[in-house]
Structure formats: C-alpha cells, structure tokens
Amino acid sequence: MLPESDNPREACGVFGVFSPGDDVARLTFYGLYALQHRGQESAGIATSNGEDFSLRTGMGLVAQVFDEEDLAYLKGHIAIGHTRYSTAGGSLACNAQPIVVHDLETGDPIALAHNGNLTNVDVLREDLEAQGIVFESTADSEVIAHLFAIAPGRTYEERFHYVMRRIEGAYSVVMMTKDRLFAMRDPMGVRPLCLGRLDGGWVVASESCALEHLGVPMEREVQPGEVIVIDEHGPASFYPVAPARKRAICTFEYTYFARPDSRIGGQLIYPAREEMGATLAREHPVEADIVIGVPDSATPAAIGYARASGIPYREGLVKNRYVGRTFIQPDQRIREAGVSLKFNALSDVLAGKRVVLVDDSIVRGTTTPRVIQLLRRAGAKEVHMRITTPPIVSPCFLGVDMATKAELIAANHSIEEIRQHIGADSLGFLSLEGLNRATGQNPEDLCNACFTGIYPLNVQMQMERLEAERGREPALAAAESLHRAGRP
C-alpha cells in the first residue's frame, strides 16, 4: 500500500447471486466493485451452471483482476465472489477466494468465500491434516470449506450444524454447490451480511450498498446464527445452532469499515457517523475557525462536529483516490513524500486558521503526525485532533488487522503523550458511551474489545499466535533483505 496507512485494515467483502437467466458473473463483478473498500489485495468469482464450476481469482483490485474475457468464461446461474484483505493467512495468490474443495462422499465441488476470522483455526487445521486433508492455502476460509466437505449428515441443516458447532469466531460466509447458494453468519453476528431480491432471483452481500448499486431492494439482514439456502424455489432459512446469548457486532463497521450508504442493524451508517462527530463536539469542545475531516470515512463525523459546535465545516484535505495497491517499489523521494501522496492540503483554506481535524482512529500513531505536519505546512495556526472512537488498547482477533498490543500507541501511552507524539495542540477521543449511543444499537450487542480488552469469546490462542508472528517479522525482514543483496 502506498503510502502505508495506519488505519485498521478492512475485513473482506463477500457477494453471492442465484438468478437463472441473468449474467450472474457481471452482477457479481459490480457487487464486488461496490465492496472494494473492504479489501484491495485480491478478488475472485466462481460460477455454477448446475453441472460445472468456473473460477477466476487474482491479486489486485476488482477492476484489475477481471476483464470481459473472464466474465464471458464465468457462465452459469449461480455465482459467489470475494474481495480480500488478509487477516488470517498472508497476501498470497493461493489465498485469493473463492476457495473450491470437493465433497468427501460425492466428489462434487463446493465453493466458499468468507469474511471474518476463526479463533480456533490452528486446532481445526491440525485435526483436518491428521485426517489426510491437504491444504492449498494458509487462509482459515479453507478450513471452513473442508469442514463442510467432510461434514456428516443427510441434510444440509445437519451438515451446517456440524460445521457451526466446530468453528469459533467471526464469519459471514457465502457458499455454492452445483445447484444451491448458501449464506451463513456466525451466532454473534460480528460481520454484516444481507439479503436482496432480484426480479428472477436472490442476492446476498456483505453490505446493502452492493445491493443498491445493482438496483436490488434489500429484503433483510441475515440474522446471527442463521443459514439461508437459495435454490429454484427461493430462500429457506434455518438455525443450525442457537444464536449466541451475546451478540457482538463490530463497532468499527459503524465508524470506519462500512460505506456510509450501507445499513447495518437497521441503521444507516452516514447519520451514525454524523452523530459521532456531534457527540465528540459536546464532549471535547474547542475554540476554532474551521472543522475538517480526514477523507473519506471521517467526513460525515466532521460535518456532525461542525453542526453541533457551530464552527464552519470546510474541506481542507483533498484525497488522491487512485493511491491504492501497487507492485512498483517507490524510490526514496517517494517514500519521503509519505502521506502527501495520499492527501493534499489546501493552503488557501487552512492558512492562519485554528483547525479541528476529525479522524476515525489512531492505531500505531504513524500516519496522524504526518497529516498534522501537512496542515501546519499549509499554514494552519492550530490543529486540534478529535477522534470518533475511544483509544484502541487491544488487538482484534475477529477479522480486523489492527497490530499487537505492543504496537498500539494508546495501550502504552497516555492521551497527553499521544498528543505530544502526533504534534496536536489538543486531543480528544470519543467516549465509549458516546460511540455506542451513536450507533443506535444496544451496547450489549456490540463488540468493543479493541477499546476495552473484553472479548466476546476466548482469544488466548489467537493472542499467543499473533505475538509469535509479530516476533518473527523482524527476522524474516532481515532474511529477505539479505536475499535481495545476494547474500546467503
């Protein structure tokens, strides 16, 4: 990613369609295009014509992976698609989804795409390998696929019961057999998933914005613990396991991940973010001349802050929307340009002004100082930082790449120390109560583990693995550097 971002890395986007007579590959392409914000590392589409599967996956953005020739190849009336950011498993071509495995008894293909993260993946993988399963990727999504492929039971409900009793963590899944489309959401409902109705079929997607882009009315959200199966008779619903006593919808879906035009838990994201900004203005007022947001996710919150404070909202930062993934190595001058490649500050707007700068989070504290320096170079007299989440003190193990506890600046420094580090004149974080209230959800139904350290399930195994992996990274980087230098 150029330049390197300090934001929490998005989860993944999944999409599925059952619609005889429609160009399902094209529908899936545009559905994934609308979900591109959820992952920019790889993309893939699998289709079924009732007998055979077709599959195309590749590294890069959706528009880079597929062309007209690919869509012509992907024939059928069922399709599932995926756009990925890696959380479990690296950014490798073998981890691009959908993943295709074969049913243990019938040999029929099964395709699966997954948004989330399993917390017991190591135990499951070891067990499957002991049974002779050979994995072709390092992603936990393949574990789910193989579990279904070997699952005992005469009915789909019995087989999903087996799978959902064994896997733990966050998962919103679309799955396809030769003649059926499935949508499955974990019992806590950590990641979003919704159902829409076409004239001649049905669509499932991570977010409702993907449905609206296709002109598909949203029917409803897939409920926590629910599996929906769709065939020529339409959708049928069942609950292989009981929904969890505690729901755990990820709060970051409301603050950052989801597009502002999506609905989650019945709440449109845009006004929720506006309310976060308004609450932030009430909790952390300051005398200033203008309010600006770090585009794009913080823009609604900045507008909300301006409205509640009476301070004018202005656009002081312009985002280069074409700075995304690149496989071209930057030279030293480009590296030093850093955040200015992604943002340009408007000096005519900022010069001599006391500025309130609104953003959605501070994770490691690497990008925010650069943004503030950019504003000061453009002539800002004062910069008052306001954050629409509480301080992040714990890593996430449910589908968000957020760094280890040792890397989280708020886990190791006071707010005053963070203020000094980022170079702001003042710093204010939204309270947990204010954030929960702005989402419009029952606080008991939200996962706020990254702010509180209180997880909705046991994550000790994942925590130990993350620390071990982070500990190996310096050694791996050194080895790679030596390899490039031609040394053994």
Residue 446's DSSP bridge partners are 249
Residue 183's DSSP bridge partners are 174, 228
Q: Which residues contact 345 (CB under 8 A, 6 or more apart)?
A: 316, 317, 318, 374, 375, 377, 378
- CA distances, 254 to each of 74, 364, 441 (Å): 34, 20, 10
**CA–CA gap between residue 175 and residue 182 (Å, rounded):** 5
CB burial string 75-85: b at 16+ within 10 A, e below: ebbbbbbbbbb
Is 12 assigned a catalytic role? yes
Backbone torsions φ then ψ of 113, nearest 5 degrees: -135, 140
Alpha helices (H) along 360-400:
368-377
The burial of 21, by beta-carbon neighbours within 10 Å (0-12 exposed, 13-18 middle, 19 or more buried), is given as exposed
Are 43 and 55 spatial neighbours (Cβ–Cβ below 8 Å)?
A: no
Query: Looking at 12, 194, 396, 450, which residue is catalytic?
Result: 12
Are 67 and 168 spatial neighbours (Cβ–Cβ below 8 Å)?
A: no
**CA–CA gap between residue 329 and residue 312 (Å, rounded):** 40
With both helix axes pointing from N to C terminus, report the angle between 140-150 and 156-166 in degrees, rounded to the nearest 10.
140
> Within 10 A of 376 (CB to CB), how many other CB atoms are there?
16
What residues act catalytically? 12
